[in-house]
Amino acid sequence: MTFATLGLIEPLLRALEALGYQTPTPVQAQAIPAVLAGRDLMAAAQTGTGKTAGFAVPLLQLLTMEGPKVTANSLRALILCPTRELAEQVHASVAQYAEHLPLTTYAVYGGVSINPQMMKLRKGVDILVATPGRLIDLFRQNALKLNQLQTLVLDEADRMLDLGFSEELANIYRMLPKKRQTLLFSATFSDDIRLLAGQMLNDPLSIEVSPRNVAANTVKQWVVPVDKKRKAELFVHLMRKGKWKQVLVFAKTRNGVDALVDKLQGLGINADGIHGDKPQATRQRALDRFKASDVQILVATDVAARGLDIEDLPMVVNFDLPIVAEDYIHRIGRTGRAGNTGEAISLVCADEVNMLSAIEMLTRQTLTRKMEQDFEPEHRVPDTDASGQVVKKPKKPKKPKTSGGGGKRNLGKWVESGEVAAEPSIKPVRKVPVFNTGPRKKK
Ligand code: AMP
């Protein structure tokens, strides 16, 4: 199969050829004809499957072939993304695919001044990529109208809910025209996502290109048990022993990122960090330098690293296990892309046994444990398996939960209060249904 046989127009074929895309990926082969036919989509596709072109390319074709010219402050298509980085990345891809088309594209997100964005929207844009919060801000300031909207794309919808955007999504939903095409992409399909899809999509075609909730099988994964206080030392040891060249490292909190970066830099290792406290420009610079191999070790929180497309990354290290088990799949999705093999190593201490168990249950596998000589933990990590059984609970009593708000889904038994406080941009996820189907309240 080729892109031409999928019915794409010449300017798009030319752009794809210039990017070196020869054959459609499985998600593209399924999504492109469906989107061109005007169908709604519900696609289970991880980052790295080529999902961005899967929705963006046919969307560009529809916008070129059909519909009126965009009017002032209006949009014809909206792509919602969970983070600024993903919004930038998706926009960069859309702009590349649209290179030979007479369409305008733009990306808006928080953390940067809103005024230039308002100016830019004055003439209207064909495709806007946006994070939910900034989109609502712009809407409230009358900088954009959604009455011309033909297509809505929810990219990484699971992540938007994990980050607590359900209320924003419900608000946006109310602003949308009823007649539209809606495409929903998600790496994982929780019940909340199915609920969201049930309300937003109309007779959607389901596409599943990798088994539900199963991590990419081109990634070799294992766990090294270690005491919490020796994790940094173990990381440096493994890095030197394995002669690691370029590694993306995940830490749970902003403080954790900073502490590890300081430690590595103190040892003369070329490391940088990205997290939500850093200005957007600094984050982008660190990312660009990492992509250009000017930085060897990039340490990131889940929020900052979400959806990053870094080609051929050989290795991901979970310095801490993620707070939400689904994030494990997103994290290791940074490696083993496009058929390449990758390695994902998790440094796990006894406190993290419940997280490990949840990850094994979600990915339906028991992760191999490799003990590292001289780093055998004093606090043993109890045995776990894919059934969710933890054979022996850690002796240390868990800290009680602090008051003051709903806990994040799957979070209660895992998170120490200080850890969440150190990553305040992770908002709690509501357990309530995403949308209220009852009568709307009058304001
Ligand atoms: P995505 O899953 O959309 O983040 O895409 C992952 C990576 O695959 C990106 O670097 C794309 O440029 C690349 N890619 C997408 N589709 C193709 C294709 N058909 N052939 C080769 N590379 C592709």
In this structure, of 140-144, 271-275, 436-440, the range with the lowest mean pLDDT score is 436-440
Same-fold call for 4-208 versus 219-391:
yes
List, in sequence order, every residue forming a beta bridge with 340; answer none if it has no partner.
none
Question: What separation in Å is there between the alpha carbon of 61 and the centre of ligand 1?
Answer: 18
Kindly report the protein residue whose alpha carbon is nearest to atom 21 of ligand 1: 21
pLDDT higher than threshold 60 for residue 161: yes
The single-letter code of the amino acid at 34 is: A
In the chain, where the domains are located: 4-208, 219-391
Q: Which are the contacts of 421, defined by CB distance < 8 A and separation ≥ 6? A: none
Question: What separation in Å is there between the alpha carbon of 254 and the centre of ligand 1?
Answer: 30
Determine the average pLDDT of the residues in 377-385: 90
Residue 279 in tokens: 């200005």
Closest CA to 90 of 98, 101, 104, 79: 79
Ligand 1 atom nearest to 22, measured from its CA: 20
Tens digit of each residue's pLDDT (9 = 90 or more) over 1-23: 899 999 999 999 999 999 999 88
User: Which one of 5, 13, 21 would you pick to mutate in the ligand 1 pocket, going by the greatest count of ligand atoms within 8 A of its CB?
Assistant: 21
pLDDT higher than threshold 70 for residue 438: no
Ligand 1 atom nearest to 23, measured from its CA: 19
* pTM more than 0.85: no
Burial 256-291 (b: 16+ CB within 10 A, else e): bbbebbebbeeeebebbbbbbbbeeeebeebbeebb
Determine the average pLDDT of the residues in 339-351: 87
pLDDT of residue 91: 97
Question: What separation in Å is there between the alpha carbon of 263 and the centre of ligand 1?
Answer: 35
Q: Which are the contacts of 175, defined by CB distance < 8 A and separation ≥ 6? A: 139, 146
pLDDT higher than threshold 60 for residue 215: no
Question: What separation in Å is there between the alpha carbon of 149 and the centre of ligand 1?
Answer: 26
Tens digit of each residue's pLDDT (9 = 90 or more) over 100-148: 999 999 999 999 999 999 999 999 999 999 999 999 999 999 999 999 9
75 band by pLDDT with thresholds 50, 70 and 90: very high
pLDDT of residue 72: 96
Q: Which of 133-142, 206-215, 316-325, 391-400 has the highest mean pLDDT?
A: 133-142
Determine the average pLDDT of the residues in 410-424: 28
Kindly report the protein residue whose alpha carbon is nearest to atom 13 of ligand 1: 50
Question: What separation in Å is there between the alpha carbon of 280 and the centre of ligand 1?
Answer: 25
Ligand 1 atom nearest to 309, measured from its CA: 4
Q: What Rg do the C-alpha atoms of the chain give, in angstroms?
A: 22
Question: What separation in Å is there between the alpha carbon of 96 and the centre of ligand 1?
Answer: 12
pLDDT of residue 396: 53
**Residue percentage of the chain with pLDDT more than 70:** 82
Q: Which residue stretches of 214-272 are H helix?
A: 231-242, 254-266
pLDDT of residue 408: 33
Question: What separation in Å is there between the alpha carbon of 94 and the centre of ligand 1?
Answer: 12
Tens digit of each residue's pLDDT (9 = 90 or more) over 21-61: 988 988 999 999 999 999 999 998 877 788 999 999 999 99
Residue 205 in tokens: 């075609």
Which residues approach ligand 1 with their CB closer than 6 A?
A: 21, 23-25, 28, 47-53, 309, 311, 338
Kindly report the protein residue whose alpha carbon is nearest to atom 11 of ligand 1: 50
In this structure, of 14-18, 114-118, 215-219, 437-441, the range with the lowest mean pLDDT score is 437-441
In this structure, of 5-14, 160-169, 223-232, 418-427, the range with the lowest mean pLDDT score is 418-427
pLDDT of residue 210: 55
Rounded to the nearest integer, the mean pLDDT of the chain is 84
Closest CA to 146 of 79, 74, 72: 74
Question: What separation in Å is there between the alpha carbon of 405 and the centre of ligand 1?
Answer: 40
User: Which one of 19, 79, 335 would you pick to mutate in the ligand 1 pocket, going by the greatest count of ligand atoms within 8 A of its CB?
Assistant: 19
Residue 146 in tokens: 């959604």
pLDDT of residue 309: 63
Determine the average pLDDT of the residues in 374-399: 74
pLDDT of residue 330: 78
Kindly report the protein residue whose alpha carbon is nearest to atom 5 of ligand 1: 50
User: Which one of 309, 311, 329, 335 would you pick to mutate in the ligand 1 pocket, going by the greatest count of ligand atoms within 8 A of its CB?
Assistant: 309
Ligand 1 atom nearest to 338, measured from its CA: 8
Ligand 1 atom nearest to 52, measured from its CA: 3
SS3 readout for 80-116: ECCCHHHHHHHHHHHHHHCCCCCCCEEEECCCCCCHH
CATH tag for 219-391 (out of 3.30.70.240, 3.30.420.40, 3.40.50.300, 3.30.43.10): 3.40.50.300
In this structure, of 44-53, 131-140, 152-161, 299-308, the range with the lowest mean pLDDT score is 299-308
Closest CA to 63 of 77, 78, 81, 42: 77
pLDDT of residue 277: 81
Kindly report the protein residue whose alpha carbon is nearest to atom 20 of ligand 1: 21
CA pair distance 114, 258, nearest whole angstrom: 28
Classify burial at 312, counting beta carbons within 10 Å of its beta carbon; exposed 0-12, middle 13-18, buried 19 or more.
Answer: exposed
Instruction: Find out if CATH 3.40.50.300 is the number for domain 4-208.
Output: yes
Question: What separation in Å is there between the alpha carbon of 57 and the centre of ligand 1?
Answer: 12
Kindly report the protein residue whose alpha carbon is nearest to atom 6 of ligand 1: 48
Determine the average pLDDT of the residues in 328-346: 78
